[in-house]
Amino acid sequence: MSGDTDVVTNQFTLINEQETINLAHAFAFACEATNAVNKGLIVYLKGDLGAGKSFFSRAFIQNFLPGQKVKSPTYTIVESYKTSTVTIHHFDLYRLCDPEELEYLAIRDLLMGSYVALVEWPQKGEPIFPEADVVIELQHPQEFESENRRVEMTASSVLGGAVVEQLMMNMRK
């Protein structure tokens, strides 16, 4: 017997940038409402170049810090933002040559206490980067209009499940 729990993937179609911003804000709201921000939440953002991972991250960060300039972490690997309640770590692992490089960034110290980690190109951090609580995959299928995106959101831990469930509940209202 595998003992696997059911994995539910929620799909969204976002027809313009504003809808991506709305989803990022709703996701941030669900992180707060479930207290996940105080427990430490790891969110993988998957998808091709230009799919909208950084765009989603910026909207998520600006939900907590309106007007905050969000720098690209492509060269620094991580940029951190401290709000009154939580620290948001925005990672982009695209330029990692070897996942071992993460040891120099002391990620274990970063991923402690109250934090949310948004991780672009998480595949590059395997197997060193800790597992995700939520995986968000952004796609820009060829048949879609220029601004349309498809999003798949999957919880992969109990905490992640609570956040996604809260998000879906709020979206049904």
Ligand X SMILES: Nc1ncnc2c1ncn2[C@@H]1O[C@H](COP(=O)(O)OP(=O)(O)OP(=O)(O)O)[C@@H](O)[C@H]1O
Question: By the criterion CB under 5 A, which residues form the site for Mg ion?
Answer: 53-54, 120
Residue 91 is given by DSSP the state E
Our CB check for ligand X shows the closer of 49 and 106 to be 49
Minimum CB separation from ligand X for residue 94, in Å? 6
Nearest CA among 132, 105, 138 for reference residue 119? 132
Query: How many Å apart are CA 75 and CA 95, to the nearest integer?
Result: 7
Residue 10 three-state SS: strand
Minimum CB separation from Mg ion for residue 53, in Å? 5
Amino acid identity of residue 171, one-letter, is M
Residue 55 near which of ligand X, Mg ion, none (CB within 5-8 Å, type-dependent)? ligand X
* Residue 30 and residue 170 in contact, taking contact as beta carbons nearer than 8 Å: yes
Residue 133 near which of Mg ion, ligand X, none (CB within 5-8 Å, type-dependent)? none
* Choice from 54, 62, 154, 166 touching ligand X (CB under 6 A): 54
Draw the binding track, 108-137, toward ligand X (x: CB under 6 A; -: no contact). ------------x-----------------
71 binds ligand X (CB under 6 A): no
C-alpha dist (Å) from residue 138 to 91, 111, 112, 158: 16, 24, 27, 22
Q: Measured at CB, which residue is nearest to ligand X?
A: 52
Residue with tokens 């991580």: 78
